[in-house]
Structure 1
Amino acid sequence: MHPAWRGLALTVIAVLSALATWTATPPGSAWGAGAPEDEIRTGYSRDFQSVDPAHIPGSPDYQAAMNIYSGLVRYKKDSTEVEPDLAERWTVSADGKTYTFYLRRNVIWHAGYGRFTAHDVKYTLERIKDPATRSRYARPLEILDRIDVVNDYTVRLVLKQPYSALLGAVLAFRPGFIVKKEAVEKLGKDFPLNPTGTGPFQFVSYRPRQEMIWVANERYYFGAPQIKRVRWRIIPDEMATALALQRDEINYMIVRKPEVYRLLKGVPSVRMTATPSAGWETIFINTRRKPFDDVRVRRAVAHAINKDQLAFSVAQGMATVGTGSVIPPGVFGHTGDIPRYEHSVERARRLLQEAGYGRGLTATLIFRQEGASPDVATAMQAMLAEIGITLKLELLESGAYFARRNTGNYDMLINNISRAEPDQFLTEIFHSANIPPGNNEAFYGGADSLIDAQRVEVTPERRRQLIVEAQRKIAQDVPAIVLWNDFNVVAYQRYVRGQVANISHWMTRFEFMHFAR
């Protein structure tokens, strides 16, 4: 069956299944019934695990943290550039090793914890660095030599060496959200799901596998949000979430699945915004496993994949074809001047023949039931069969997927990653220091020297050149194949206004939204 027809069939099946699930809800329990008029109601397929900045795993925890916490700096709402947040301004020494931040004096902690000061910054960053915390973000902070509290409203970060990505990759990202020592110690093991910050929304309650509720911070230093309450419900099925949106039981949702995108495009009461994002759908190839330790085999796979067809028949309007650059459009250092592996079955077969696999081979692809991954896997299986590669597909739930990933027991896997700073893509995903349990799922190290060089380069243009060189080296070695660059798609009721889209789906910032009924 052609992927487009298969997608239509899956949409029909998904709608029927979601209807069965949703209509099983007891009468009178409609989630939107009696909701305040200034309440955002949203749903997401995954439950919260930890909103503690030291341990944020991904979505939806990051979305919650972005709305509840603040950092010294933050991403601008329309780009991956940074702007002041808790810090009003900062200076950087000539050698690029000392950052001095001058803090706002009017910031109040949620839940009665008093005023924010430089001591909170020092505690937060040292807590993440502390091995006892076991933070997944400890390594990026190893660059810190010391943190000096100059006074209550001035803090100085002294680095061991220059790090050009400190603001965008660390301080504006997950480990940069500032926490209160007294809250961490008082709440103890309950702190991860009882976040206490200084951001635009204040945590109210959390019910496992059901919902989390926040209310507007009326003392927020940028001004109280117009949205006064956010209810974030856990709805495992995205199609069920879409049906709830049609009924106005929720009024905002992130769209990840093409079949949901197709369904909602035809709903008059719903608007959708598709924004080119700093993320991509990618095949990672395990470069440590035979026969994929041979670059000719990896290049054969790259030539066998028809990315144009995948973007058209699988992503279906939610992406643009990958260019070969591992830095997405809109992120510093992206370039279109990267050699591409054009679709060519003949060339792919010839490369396999040269590598000694002219009679074919068998490989395993692991993936999750998330977004377009299942359809990508099925399409890849057919494409690789054309060049003699028998691809075994293994669909795993998230826990099993990450456990398997961490052992390296796979030939290929599908993942979707979104970041805002080029070093996050290069160091986190392609540097040998970050092989699993880190995010270097290709077990690759061929561009380490170039990646290290761009990290310490303080001249923007020279750093850009190093980033481009690193991308060319990665393209030459093919540890990963970028299938497409995502659009961030959000759907919402027509009365929702304001900042409803961003360069990444995890940049869901309700402080910019309001209603126009």
Structure 2
Amino acid sequence: MKNFKSSYLKITSTIFIVLMLLVSLSSAALAADDVLKVRAINGADISTMDPAYYYGDEELNIDLSFYSKLIRFKAASSEWELDAAEEFEVSDDGKVIEFKLREGIQFHHGYGELTTEDVKFSFERIADPDNNSPYKNDWATLEEVEIIDRYRGRIILSEPYAPLFTQTLAYNPGSIISKKAYQEKGDNFATNPVGSGPYYWEDWDPGEKITLNRFEDYFGDLPDFRRIEIYPISEVRMAEIALDAGELNSTQISYDSFAIYNQRADINVEQVAVTRQVYLGFNMQEEPFKDKNVRKAIRYAVNVDEILQGAYNNIAARANSSIVEGVLGHWEAALQYELDLEKARGYLAKAGYEDGFQTELVVPVREPLPEAGQIIRQQLLEIGIDAKIQMTDSSFDYLSESRSNMHLQDWGPTLDPDRWTKWWHSDHIGSWNFKNYSNPEYDSLVEAAILELDQDKRAELYIEQQKILDEDVSAVWISHGAHLQASQEHIKPVFLTQRSQYRYWEIAE
């Protein structure tokens, strides 16, 4: 009852937010070309803006426009370019990166100039195991950041780290925070952050709105929008209502609404190929899912094509393994498992569950996972598995606390293959490894892949990892998703993988 009440209150709150948005904002304000009003990614609010402790998509989305990094990704590209660094040189052995900062980069809110001391503080803080950052392994081989002078420094590694440029430096583990601000604010830094990017933190009304303002003293090109208002509207249908009323400039839309919006002359719709993992996972250290025969039974009982049709309107493509096509290590020859109820019942009987069993299926509220969860529930009933659905606003919080038996997961890794497979590593049991999956051979391959600089050899290591996950039936792979974004005709979002970066949004001519 508690969880039902929480979900009910969340939906009620969402409707209230949309109604207030529709009523309270004036037409003149909404017509302002230099204000962007947008739904948060997946409608999710943030929990922190400390880059050492992000758990949500929207936090990283804001981060990419809020904090400077030594290097960043180019707009709509997987290639990186210099950001806070004006010089950047890697040694032949890959163990030393020497950099020189641009002079005069200013932190927000008067916290002074960004220096090498801030770089050292930011990187070593995440790498320090005592700080228990979930991203500490992104600095797994960091020995130290050596300060040469105010603007020059060296990143010194014990071993070359293959994902350094595609995962660490260009994403939140490479975000440079103000050491002075962090030491002054302490725990309050998480909700009153200080960066040096093109936008600064104006205000956060939890559950209702996040406001970013353009930082006029930003060292680079200023973005088109003077202010960004981000609304965590969890129900995508409510966001579509706000878009239709002109109270949002842009929002993710549902799979069912794609054809409707795609026919409107006043709306631009973009279908973005995204880097996501959608899968059905198990707690593999608890009965009944500890028995691989049970997991095999479920793999043959779940009709993935039916899920893609019923929940994704056949817009998202099927996934047969962990890593999406286009990312290094994609396993093109992965096996595709089809519905076979006879095999499913046979594996259940082999495990001693001829009559099935009851369990829990945790499903995040974000679209279209509730629909996918209901379809899976009905499919499992065919072999006697009664999976009671538990809806949750935060699958990370819920699964971290409960270690539930079965769960639907939908999340977006980076452009580097490490993030696609590392969360099955034993070290992440108790945090991101909700599956409680542990395999020493798999762990060794994960560890070897981050040190392998030869891209062909590295790709093979990731394929071997996926073969082990397949053999162990670690998950039922469903899709890599699709992102559908509808925007008013004067708005042009520019996407980087599955995330739109506010720095790059444009006012269309």
**TM-score, normalisation: structure 1:** 0.88
Q: CA deviation at 1:261?
A: 4.4
Once residues 106 and 254 of structure 1 are traced to their aligned partners in structure 2, the CA distance between those partners, rounded to angstroms, is 38
Does the aligned pair in 2 maintain the 1:270–1:493 contact within 8 Å?
A: yes
1:468-488, Cα deviation, whole Å (9 max, x unpaired):
111111111111122011112
Specify the alignment match of 2:433 in structure 1: 440
Q: Secondary structure at the match of 1:230?
A: strand
Mapped partners of 1:481, 1:87: distance in 2 = 43
Task: Indicate yes or no: 2:338 matched with 1:342.
Answer: yes
Partner of residue 6, structure 2:
none
- State how far apart, in whole Å, the 2-side matches of 1:319 and 1:43 are: 21
Q: What are the residue-to-residue correspondences of 1:358-373 with 2, within 5 Å?
A: 358-373=354-369
Partners of 2:13 and 2:284 in 1: CA distance = 40
Is 1:395–2:423 an aligned residue pair? no
* Structure 1 residues 20 and 289: alpha-carbon distance in aligned structure 2, compared to 1, 3 A threshold: closer
Question: Which residues of 2 match residues 179-190 of structure 1 at below 5 A?
Answer: 179-190=177-188
8 Å CA contact 2:88, 2:100 repeated in 1: yes
Partner residue in 2 for 1:516? 508
Distance 1:480 1:20, change over 3 A: closer
1:9 — aligned with what?
none
How far is 1:100 from its partner?
A: 2.2
- Aligned-residue offset at 1:251: 0.3
Aligned to 1:488: 483
* 1:486 maps to amino acid: G
SS of alignment partner, residue 202 of structure 1: strand
Matches of 2:164 and 2:15, distance apart in 1: 49
Q: Does 224-233 or 463-472 show the bigger shift? A: 224-233
Secondary structure of 1:309's partner?
Answer: helix
Partners of 2:301 and 2:379 within 8 A in 1: yes
**Corresponding residue for 2:418?**
423
- Structure 1 residue aligned with 2:405: 411
1:314 aligns with 2:311: yes
- More deviation in 389-398 or 439-448? 389-398
Q: Is the 8 A contact 1:217 1:225 kept in 2?
A: no
What amino acid is the match of 1:336?
A: E
Q: For residues 117-516 of structure 1, what are the structure 2 equivalents within 5 Å?
A: 117-130=115-128, 133-255=131-253, 257-259=254-256, 261=258, 264-265=261-262, 267-322=264-319, 324-398=320-394, 401-407=395-401, 409-420=403-414, 421-427=416-422, 429-436=423-430, 438-446=431-439, 447-497=442-492, 499=494, 501-504=495-498, 507-516=499-508
Give distance in 1, aligned partners of 2:57 and 2:474: 25
CA distance 1:112–1:19, change in 2 (3 Å): closer
* Structure 2: tracts of 5 or more residues without a match: 1-10
In structure 1, C-alpha distance between the alignment counterparts of 2:382 and 2:479, rounded to whole Å: 21
* C-alpha RMSD of matched pairs (Å): 2.6
Opposite residue 400 of structure 2, the aligned amino acid is N
In the TM superposition, what whole-angstrom CA distance separates every residue of 1:118-151 from its partner, at most 9, and x where no partner exists?
2211011122234564433234334211111123
Unaligned runs of 5+ in 1: 1-15
Higher mean alpha-carbon deviation, 411-420 vs 194-203, is at 194-203
Taking every aligned residue pair, what percent have the same amino acid on both sides? 27
8 Å CA contact 1:339, 1:472 repeated in 2: no
Cα separation, partners in 2 of 1:422 and 1:204, compared to 1, 3 Å: same
- The separation in 1 between residues aligned to 2:134 and 2:22, in whole angstroms, is 44
Conservation of the 8 A alpha-carbon contact between 2:115 and 2:150? yes
Judged with a 3 Å threshold, the aligned counterparts in structure 2 of structure 1 residues 200 and 386 are, in CA distance, closer, same or farther, namely same
| 2:90 corresponding residue in structure 1 | 92
Q: CA deviation at 1:101?
A: 2.5
Q: CA–CA distance in 1 between the matches of 2:130 and 2:436?
A: 27
Change (3 A) 1:23 1:179: closer
**What residue identity is the alignment partner of 1:419?**
P
Distance in 2 (CA, whole Å) between partners of 1:378 and 1:358 is: 23
Shift of 1:403: 4.6
Distance change (3 Å), C-alpha of 1:120 and 1:374: same
Is this contact kept in 2: 1:304–1:348, CA < 8 A? yes
Listed one character per residue, the Cα deviations across residues 379-413 of structure 1 (whole Å, up to 9, x for unaligned) are 11111122232222222342xx5454124542210
- Structure 2 Cα separation of the partners of residues 76 and 330 of structure 1: 17
TM-score by length of 2: 0.89
Asked if 2 retains the 8 angstrom alpha-carbon contact of 1:276 and 1:488, the reply is yes
